[in-house]
Amino acid sequence: MASLFMDIKVEGISKTYAAGNKALDQVTFDFNLNGIFSLIGKNGAGKTTLIRILSTQLLPTSGRASVNGMDVVDQAREIRELVAAVPQEARAVPWMTPIQTLTSYLMWRGYTHSRSMNMGKDVLRMLGMEKQENTKNRNLSGGQKRKVLVATALASEATLIFMDEPTTGLDFISRKELWEVLVSMKRNRLIVLTTHYLEEAEELGDLIGIMNAGSMVGFGTLDQLRGRVKFPLGIKIFSQSYSVPESIGDVELLSKNEAQVYTTEDAAYALVNDLLSKHIKFTVQEISLNTIFESVVNGSDSDE
Residues 263-299: pLDDT tens digits?
A: 988 899 999 999 999 999 999 988 889 989 988 888 7
Higher-confidence position of 228 and 49: 49
All residues at 6 or more sequence positions from 116 whose CB lies less than 8 Å from its CB, including other chains: 102, 103, 104, 105, 106, 107
Q: Which architecture characterizes domain 6-221 according to CATH?
A: 3-Layer(aba) Sandwich (3.40)
Q: Tell me what the mean pLDDT of segment 42-50 comes to.
A: 92
Q: How many angstroms separate the most distant Cα atoms in the chain?
A: 71
Q: What pLDDT, on a 0 to 100 scale, did the predictor assign at position 279?
A: 94
Q: How far apart are CA 65 and CA 54, in angstroms?
A: 7
Q: How far apart are CA 285 and CA 234, in angstroms?
A: 5
Rg (CA), the chain: 23
Q: How far apart are CA 164 and CA 8, in angstroms?
A: 17
Higher-confidence position of 228 and 116: 116
Spatial CA neighbour of 85 closest among 33, 50, 43: 50
Q: How far apart are CA 303 and CA 299, in angstroms?
A: 6
What is the amino acid identity at position 100?
Q
- Residue percentage of the chain with pLDDT more than 70: 97
Tally the C-alpha atoms within 13 A of residue 261's C-alpha that lie toward its C-beta. 26
Tally the C-alpha atoms within 13 A of residue 94's C-alpha that lie toward its C-beta. 3
- Residue percentage of the chain with pLDDT more than 90: 58
Please state the φ and ψ torsions of residue 133, each to the nearest 5 degrees. -65, -25
pLDDT category of residue 186 using cuts at 50, 70 and 90: confident
pLDDT category of residue 302 using cuts at 50, 70 and 90: very low
**Span 102-143, pLDDT tens digits:** 999 999 988 999 999 999 999 999 888 899 999 999 999 888
Mean pLDDT estimate for the chain:
90
Checking if the pLDDT of 261 tops 60, the result is yes
Checking if the pLDDT of 173 tops 90, the result is no
Q: How far apart are CA 160 and CA 36, in angstroms?
A: 10
pTM, entire model: 0.85
3-state secondary structure the chain: CCCCCEEEEEEEEEEECCCCCEEEEEEEEEEEECEEEEEEECCCCCHHHHHHHHCCCCCCCEEEEEECCEECCCCHHHHHCCEEEECCCCCCCCCCCHHHHHHHHHHHCCCCHHHHHHHHHHHHHHCCCHHHCCCCHHHCCHHHHHHHHHHHHHHCCCCEEEEECCCCCCCHHHHHHHHHHHHHHCCCCEEEEECCCHHHHHHHCCEEEEEECCEEEEEECHHHHHCCCCCCEEEEEECCCCCCCHHHEEEEECCCCEEEEEECHHHHHHHHHHHHHCCCEEEEEECCHHHHHHHHHHHHHHHC
Q: What pLDDT, on a 0 to 100 scale, did the predictor assign at position 303?
A: 52
Q: How far apart are CA 152 and CA 42, in angstroms?
A: 27
Please list the residues that pair with 10 across neighbouring strands: 29, 65
The residues of the chain that CATH labels 3.40.50.300 are 6-221
Q: What pLDDT, on a 0 to 100 scale, did the predictor assign at position 126?
A: 87
